[in-house]
Amino acid sequence: MMYTAYYAESSDYSSEMSRSNEWSALDNVISGLKTAREQGLGTSQARQALHDTMTVWSFLLDDLSNQDNNFPEQLRADLISIGIFVIKQVGRIYQAQSEDVDSDVSGLIDINTAIRDGLVQ
C-alpha cells in the first residue's frame, strides 16, 4: 500500500516536471521564432529556431503517439494534427516554399504560444 501511494505521488511529480519541461521548451521555441522574425530568416539564429521548433514538435509527437500517454484520445489526436501542421510549415519555410514567410512565422508563434499557455506550468 505504501509503495502505491509513493508511486502515485512520484508519477504526479514526474508529470508536473514533464509539463514544466514542455512549457520551457515551447517558450524557447517562441522566443527563437520571434528573434527569427525580427532578424530575418537568413540568419543562423533563424535556422536554429526552425530546427528547434521541429525538434520539440518531433519529441511531442513521439510522446503523444505513445500508448502510455494519459491525455484523452481526442486531445492527443488534435495535438498530433497540430504538430504535423507545425512540422510541415517549418519544412515549407526551410525550403523557401512559403508565399508569406512573415505570416507563416507569426502563425507558428501563435500556435506554439497557445499550446504553451495551455500547459500547466
Residue 73 is part of a domain; what is its CATH number?
A: 1.20.120
Q: Which domain holds residue 12?
A: 2-118
**Total-model pTM:** 0.82
Cell numbers of 75, please?
486531445
The helix/strand/coil state of 33 is: helix
Give Cβ neighbours of residue 69 (< 8 Å, ≥ 6 apart).
63, 76
What pLDDT is stored for residue 53 in this prediction?
Answer: 97
Per-residue pLDDT of 87-109, as tens digits, reads 999 999 988 877 788 889 999 99
Q: How many domains does the chain have?
A: 1
Q: How many residues does the chain have?
A: 121
